[in-house]
Amino acid sequence: MSPQRTYGSTAKLLHWAIVGLLVLQYAIGFLMPDIHRGMLPGTPMNIHMSIGFIVLLLIVVRLVWRITHPITPDSSLPPWQQTSSEGVHWLLYLLVLATTLTGWIFASMRGWTIFLFWMVPLPRLVAEGSALGRTIGQWHETLIWVLLVAIGTHVLAALMHPFVYKDRVMQRMLPGTNRVQQ
C-alpha cells in the first residue's frame, strides 16, 4: 500500500484510545500501593493489569495498522524533523509494547493469575519465581519512566507545531480533521 498523506479515522481512534488508557494507567499505577513479597493483587492492580492488556492489544493493532497504512511525513518539515518524528513514533510503539509485556511478565513471575476484568484468565508468560521473569519484570518500572519521557517529548514536539512553527502538522492526528497536507 502506498503511503497516505494524513491519518485516517482508524489511526486516530487507535491513537486517542491508547492515549486515554495510558493516562488512566499512569494515574492508577501511581495511586496503587507498593507491591510487597507475598501480596496478592487487589482491585487497583487488577484494573491496572486489565487495562494494560487492552493497551497491549490496541498497540499491536495500531502497529499493524501503521505498517499496512503508512503515512508520508509532512513535506513541509525539514528532513531532520521528518526523521526524528518517525523515530519517536516507532520508539513510542516499542516502549508501549515493552512496558505492557514487562508488567505482564512481572505479574506472572509473582505467581499472579491475571484476569481480564475479573472474567477471563490470561496465561502466565513465565513460571512463578522465574529469575528471568524477575529480571525482566524489574525493567517495568524503569520503562514506565522512559515511556513517560518519550510521551512528554512527543507532546512537546506536537505542541511546537501550532505554537512555534505556526503550521498545521498537529492537525493530521486531531479528531475531526481530514485535511490533506500540501
| pLDDT at site 52 | 97
Query: Side chain identity at 126, as an amino acid letter?
Result: V
Question: What are the pLDDT digits (tens) for 65-105?
Answer: 999 999 888 888 899 999 999 999 999 999 999 999 999 99
Phi, psi at 151, each rounded to 5°? -65, -45
**Is pLDDT at 25 greater than 80 in this prediction?**
yes
Tell the residue number behind the cell numbers 491475571, with chain if given. 114
Give the lowest-confidence range in 51-55, 114-118, 175-179: 175-179
Choose among 20, 21, 17: nearest CA to 48: 21
Residue 4 three-state SS: strand
Q: Domains in the chain, ordered, with CATH? A: 9-172 (1.20.950)
**Is pLDDT at 114 greater than 90 in this prediction?**
no
Per-chain mean pLDDT for the chain: 91
Instruction: Report the C-alpha gap between 130 and 29 in whole angstroms.
Output: 23
Q: What is the CA radius of gyration of the chain?
A: 18
Contact (CB, 8 A) for 107 and 41: yes
Phi-psi region of 117 (alpha: psi -120 to 50; beta: other; left: phi over 0): left
Contact (CB, 8 A) for 10 and 76: no
